[in-house]
């Protein structure tokens, strides 16, 4: 559809359309959200700009993560004034080959996940940026490892390697990674993650377990506070006990605020089942 300048001006002045950037226009006058917001941001920044990080992941379909800003990735030599609501990330690390070949210009999911991790404020937030797209099947741990191999220098590089390895080993949440880290810090046996079990309710996956000791641990996250979910969790623990496991449960609140006291008990339980701490060499 061809729109002449006068017609465009008439719609904009009549507040039926909204002007964006230099010559862009949105054919409504409501708030800019989703793809309208992202395309307006890219037009404002200029040619060769792509969505990156969180914004590119959202454009690829990722949910559960909100950010008021639009993250745009540009080449290192790019020069552009500040655009309200847009965070510019200049980099030599990625090239045009790292962008999707169709649709809104954006980084490919594995690249976007690594960008989001490297642009995070803390190492823990960076780990979350890698876990969430794997949970939602946008990327794989192997793809993340390939992208991390391209990162030569960054303050999170050393921390992200073990995180990706744990994700590849089956850890699908930050809470599982916290439990694994606590076990390593205390010298406790390394657990398995997301082990499949088949019971009366069908196939299910155990958050963390130690098959050699017959111990399982379920992590009760935020969603576990709902009544129906709580009932399901109670049944799961009973089923695990009938299968011969010592079934433990820890809430996210305990994991965040009192985990040292909690882990004293499993340590005694491991000892009762024959585990002995290996003296440091």
Q: Which stretch, 117-121, 192-196, 214-218, 272-276, has highest mean pLDDT? A: 117-121
**Residue 72 confidence (pLDDT):** 92
CB 110 within 8 A of CB 144: yes
At residue 106 the predicted structure's pLDDT band, cuts being 50, 70 and 90, is very high
Average pLDDT over residues 93-105: 89
At residue 226 the predicted structure's pLDDT band, cuts being 50, 70 and 90, is very low
Question: Model-level pTM?
Answer: 0.61
If you search the block for the tokens 């995070």, which residue do you land on? 120
CB 237 within 8 A of CB 247: yes
Q: What is the dihedral of CA 13, 15, 16, 21, to 10 degrees?
A: 70
Average pLDDT over residues 82-95: 84
pLDDT tens-digit profile of 113-159? 999 999 999 888 898 899 889 888 899 989 999 999 999 889 999 98
Average pLDDT over residues 225-249: 53
- Where do the domains of the chain lie? 1-30, 32-154, 174-272
More confident residue, 50 or 226: 50
The CATH fold of domain 174-272: Endonuclease; Chain A (3.40.960)
Of 140, 156, 68, 76, nearest to 108 by C-alpha is 140
Identify any residues that bridge with 74 across adjacent strands, giving them in sequence order.
90
Reduce the secondary structure of 135-157 to three states and give it as a string. HCCCCCHHHHHHHHHCCCCCCCH
């Amino acid at each position: 559809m061809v729109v002449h300048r006068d017609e465009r001006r008439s719609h904009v002045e009549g507040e039926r359309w909204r002007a964006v950037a230099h010559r862009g226009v949105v054919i409504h006058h409501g708030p800019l959200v989703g793809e309208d917001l992202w395309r307006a941001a890219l037009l404002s920044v200029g040619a060769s700009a792509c969505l990156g990080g969180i914004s590119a992941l959202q454009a690829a379909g990722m949910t559960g993560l909100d950010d008021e800003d639009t993250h745009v990735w540009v080449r290192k030599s790019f020069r552009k004034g500040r655009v309200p609501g847009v965070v510019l990330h200049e980099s030599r690390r990625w090239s045009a080959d790292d962008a999707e070949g169709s649709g809104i210009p954006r980084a490919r999911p594995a690249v976007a996940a690594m960008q989001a991790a490297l642009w995070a404020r803390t190492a823990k937030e960076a780990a979350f940026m890698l876990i969430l797209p794997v949970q939602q099947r946008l990327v794989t741990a192997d793809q993340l490892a390939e992208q991390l191999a391209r990162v030569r220098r960054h303050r999170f590089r050393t921390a992200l390697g073990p995180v990706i390895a744990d994700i590849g080993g089956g850890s699908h949440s930050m809470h599982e990674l916290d439990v694994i880290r606590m076990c390593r810090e205390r010298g406790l046996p390394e657990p398995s993650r997301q082990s499949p079990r088949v019971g009366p309710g069908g196939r299910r996956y155990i958050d963390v377990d130690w098959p050699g000791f017959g111990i399982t641990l379920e992590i009760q996250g935020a969603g576990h506070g709902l009544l129906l979910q709580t009932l399901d969790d109670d049944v799961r623990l009973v089923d695990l006990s009938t299968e011969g496991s010592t079934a433990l449960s820890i809430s996210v609140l305990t994991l965040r605020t009192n985990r040292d006291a909690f882990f004293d008990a499993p340590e005694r339980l491991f000892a009762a089942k024959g585990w002995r701490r290996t003296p440091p060499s």
